[in-house]
Amino acid sequence: MLAVLAFFVGGSIGSFLNLAADRMPAGRSIVSPRSFCEACNRHLASFDMVPVFSYLWLRGRCRYCRARIPLRFMVVEAFMGALFTSIYFRHGFGAEFIVLGIAVSLLMVVALIDLERGLILNRIIYPSLVVLVLLAPFWTELGLTRSFFGSESMVASLLNSIATGLGAFLVFLAIALAFPKGMGGGDIKLAGVIGLLAGFPGALIALWLGIVSGGLVAIGLLVFRKLGRKDTMPFGPFMALGTIAALLAGGEIISWYQEVGDYVVRF
Ligand SMILES: [Zn+2]
């Protein structure tokens, strides 16, 4: 029953992120006005905003004017619902749920805006940097052992965040200087955020997953001619999704690696 609650919390936050992703790039307020239909301007009632179910019940259309609601709305709600459910199963409801929930939401809105507009907003990145530096000493206290090898002291946790954030920023800066067409300033700053957030070795897994999945998708798009050689593909969404995977399953990803490694060594 509580898992259903976690799903609805995640779905409702997903609904809010949909709105934020539409409004923030235009500099509009994310608080007011309340949700309304972009086609007929009618305010949505709370029963129009039950995550996932309203979309299915109304078959993806506005209740009042029947205008199509983008499928993205439901996909983000369902995805966030699933993520929050999985956080609940791992950590229950508590400080970990709140902190991981906020981190995942932040990454998701960055991914959405970059995917749709090719932008990573400083208005999201800079406040995140400040909050993550302040949060850096407390990861073990929050029950989230980012090192995966045991708990960190507060000083170790702070140093881990700052060193990993700075390291990721500098590595991505070097990549951007070497391949000026590949990566933008937003990606470099996002790498710093991810370093601060996930620490070592989490950020390594996060960015590695981002680079591999982004590279595979880019190759696929080139092969199927959906992407020209001169086109650019936003890279932020892959970094963000890689980080979500590392935050939720970093320990498992590391042990799979060790198992595969042991297997290879035995040959
Ligand atoms: Zn409408």
Backbone torsions φ then ψ of 90, nearest 5 degrees: -80, -40
- The tens-digit pLDDT sequence of the chain (267 residues) is 899 999 999 999 999 999 999 999 999 999 888 889 989 999 988 888 899 999 999 999 999 999 999 999 999 999 999 999 999 999 999 999 999 999 999 999 999 999 999 999 999 999 999 999 999 999 988 888 887 767 789 999 999 999 999 999 999 999 999 987 777 899 999 999 999 999 999 999 999 999 999 999 988 988 887 777 677 789 999 999 999 999 998 888 888 888 887 877 766
Contact 5, 11 (CB under 8 A): no
Compute CA distances 72 → 19, 55, 58, whole Å. 11, 11, 15
Angle between helices 236-266 and 95-117 (to 10 degrees): 110
SS3 state of residue 35: coil
pLDDT at 227: 73
Quote the ligand 1 centre to 94 CA distance (angstroms). 38
CB atoms within 10 A of CB 248: 18
Q: In terms of Cα–Cα distance, which of 177, 165, 109, 104 is closest to 133?
A: 165
Tokens, residue 111: 């991914």
Residue/partner pairs of 87-92 with CB below 8 Å, 24 or more apart? 87/6, 87/248, 88/2, 88/3, 88/6, 89/3, 90/248, 91/143
List of residues 6+ apart from 60 with CB closer than 8 A: 68, 69, 71, 74
> H helices of 53-184, where?
53-57, 71-91, 95-117, 122-135, 154-178
Q: How far is the CA of 40 from the centre of ligand 1 (A)?
A: 4
For residues 20 and 123, what is the distance between their CA atoms, to the nearest angstrom? Answer: 12
Q: What per-residue confidence (pLDDT) applies to 181?
A: 74
Would you say 193 and 165 are in contact if contact means Cβ atoms under 8 Å apart? yes
Q: For the whole model, what pTM was predicted?
A: 0.92
- Ligand 1 centroid vs 61 CA: distance in angstroms? 8
What is residue 135's three-state secondary structure? helix
* Ion ligand 1: residues, CB < 5 A: 37, 39-40, 62, 64-65, 67
pLDDT value of position 226: 74
Contact 48, 63 (CB under 8 A): yes
**Domain extents for the chain?**
1-93, 119-267
pLDDT at 121: 96
Question: What spacing in Å lies between the alpha carbon of 39 and ligand 1's midpoint?
Answer: 5
189 C-alpha vs ligand 1 centroid, how far in Å? 38
Check residue 84 and give its pLDDT: 98
Distance of CA 26 from the midpoint of ligand 1 (Å): 21
Give the model's pLDDT for residue 171: 95
Q: How far apart are CA 148 and CA 99, in angstroms?
A: 17
Tell me how far the alpha carbon of residue 71 lies from the centroid of ligand 1, in angstroms: 15
